[in-house]
Amino acid sequence: MISDIVNVIFCLGNCVLLVNLRRMRLEKCWFCSSTVYPGHGVSFLLLHVFKGYITLLLLKIFHFCRSKCHKNFKMKRNPRKVKWTKAYSRLHRKDMTQDSTFEFERKRNRPERYDRNLAENTLKAIKKIDKIRSDRASDHIKNRLKTGKVQRQKEARKQLELGIHLVKAPLALAQDSSLCLPKIKVNVSQAQTEENQPMEE
């Protein structure tokens, strides 16, 4: 991780103001994967030190968007098992996992030299790519829910038929039968029944 320490020196007349600006980056909450905007959330720095003859150091930073995620982390819950997190939905294929639009959001540690045109184009592209990505994600969910749609409609119709007395008073239904659900007429072709022949002796 390259930390960019930016020192901005403002000269106000005779005095010099030295301002240290921290990196402003939109992080992802470690637990629920929502974006953590600057000024929000808590960052937890875990420095794993192996104290022996050789000291090995691993710095891991966890960002949390709100205390809900932070508390769940402290409870040692695995986000892949907690149903409301993105980690769970991606693992259980409820959300779109592979798409070319994700490539644009990959973290790059190489700082880019500021170019006005590049910055302008990037801002325009961000909007467009975001729209495409969210459209594709919602399509993915829509397709996933399509298979259950017919079943759900059948269940809903059945429930309405059974519970019509909750919707309309039975007396009103009896008086005016047009308030019922229209019954679908199905033509059934029946073979002509033979007349009852007396048993042959």
Partner 1 sequence: MIQPQTYLNVADNSGARELMCIRVIGASNRRYAHIGDVIVAVIKEAVPNTPLERSEVITAVIVSTRKELKCDNGMIIRYDDNATVVIDQEGNPKGTRIFGAIARELRQLNFTKIVSLAPEVL
- Pick the binder of partner 1 from 11, 14, 39, 182 (CB under 8 A): 39
Q: SS3 letters for 147-181?
A: CCHHHHHHHHHHHHHHCHHHHCCHHHHHHCHHHCC
- Pick the binder of partner 1 from 14, 20, 193, 197 (CB under 8 A): 20
- Are 105 and 76 spatial neighbours (Cβ–Cβ below 8 Å)? no
Q: How far is the CB of 64 from partner 1 (least distance, A)?
A: 9
- Are 39 and 45 spatial neighbours (Cβ–Cβ below 8 Å)? no
**Nearest CB to partner 1, comparing residues 57 and 75:** 57
Q: How far is the CB of 3 from partner 1 (least distance, A)?
A: 5
**Nearest CB to partner 1, comparing residues 56 and 184:** 56
Binding to partner 1 by residue 148, rule CB under 8 A?
no
Measured CA to CA, the distance from residue 180 to residue 173 in angstroms comes to 7
Measured CA to CA, the distance from residue 80 to residue 46 in angstroms comes to 20
Measured CA to CA, the distance from residue 29 to residue 56 in angstroms comes to 26
Q: Vertex 107, ends 64 and 55: CA angle to 5°? A: 70
Binding to partner 1 by residue 9, rule CB under 8 A?
no
Block residue for tokens 């959300």 = 95
Binding to partner 1 by residue 191, rule CB under 8 A?
no
- Pick the binder of partner 1 from 3, 14, 175, 187 (CB under 8 A): 3
**Nearest CB to partner 1, comparing residues 49 and 174:** 49
Do strands 35-36 and 42-50 pair parallel, antiparallel, or not at all (unpaired)? unpaired
Q: Please name the amino acid found at residue 191.
A: A
Binding to partner 1 by residue 40, rule CB under 8 A?
yes
Binding to partner 1 by residue 38, rule CB under 8 A?
yes
Binding to partner 1 by residue 15, rule CB under 8 A?
no
Rg from Cα positions in the chain: 32
**Residue in 27, 21, 24 with CA at minimum distance from that of residue 41:** 27
Q: How far is the CB of 20 from partner 1 (least distance, A)?
A: 6
Binding mask 42-71 for partner 1 (x = CB under 8 A): xxxxxx-x-x---x-x-x-x----------
Binding to partner 1 by residue 184, rule CB under 8 A?
no
Q: Give the residues lining the site for partner 1 (CB under 8 A).
A: 1, 3, 5, 20, 22, 38-47, 49, 51, 55, 57, 59, 61
